[in-house]
Amino acid sequence: MITKLVFATNNKHKLEEVRHIISGKTEILSLAGIDCCDDIPETAGTLEGNALLKARYIKLQYGYDCFADDTGLEVEALHNAPGVYSARYAGEGHDAEANMNKLLCQMQGQSNRKARFRTVIALIIKDKEYVFEGIVNGSIVTDKRGEAGFGYDPLFIPDTYTLTFAQMGNELKNLISHRALAVKQLAAFLSTLSAE
């Protein structure tokens, strides 16, 4: 049974979301919880690569079993950009507004609005690595809609809904999100280990 796992983040919202889904016998520690203040490299060219880099760093430097996530918005007409560069699409030091403005600009006149959010979680237990993925398919709107959430939420409508992530609010979004789907897979896997 896994009693302790480090989640390679200090993001309070992510921690809360993950602890809520992985409730039970596994304690989830943050980076602060293991006194890690390092700037962990995220230099891979894929979401999988970055999630693995972060998890391997913690395992190697701190010795803990751990997991790390990476998320990107993949837009079909833009050959899956911004993808792994979602956080810095408009350049280093730019905020979510600038990223959204760049995306709207790139999508001007584009009739294919299909996009997806993809979260990858890399887990290392003992010396074994596992990867989990959560995907939400949807489309990019032509103007920002809604105030809730973060990142590209005002621009993304998940399939079968009529509201953007930013219009639907965090409660519903967190139930159906790419991150929630990936974390649920992680939780299901961990519960098979605790049954052993």
Footprint of ligand IMP on this chain (CB under 6 A)? 70-73, 86-87, 99, 117, 149-153, 165, 177
Residue nearest ligand IMP (C-beta atom)? 151
Work out how close the CB of 110 gets to ligand IMP at its nearest, in angstroms, rounded to a whole number: 19
Give Cα separations from 104 to 89, 97, 115, 186 (angstroms).
12, 11, 13, 33
Give Cα separations from 10 to 27, 34, 81, 124, 174 (angstroms).
15, 11, 26, 18, 18
Say if CB 164 and CB 155 are below 8 A apart.
Answer: yes
- Measured from the CB atom, the residue of 172 and 191 that comes closer to ligand IMP is 172
Q: Say how many residues make up the chain.
A: 196
Work out how close the CB of 101 gets to ligand IMP at its nearest, in angstroms, rounded to a whole number: 13
Q: Residue 136: in which H helix or E strand, if any? A: strand 128-140
Active-site residue (options: 35, 38, 39, 70): 70
| Cβ neighbours of 148 (radius 10 Å) | 16
Work out how close the CB of 25 gets to ligand IMP at its nearest, in angstroms, rounded to a whole number: 26
- Measured from the CB atom, the residue of 73 and 75 that comes closer to ligand IMP is 73
70 tagged catalytic? yes
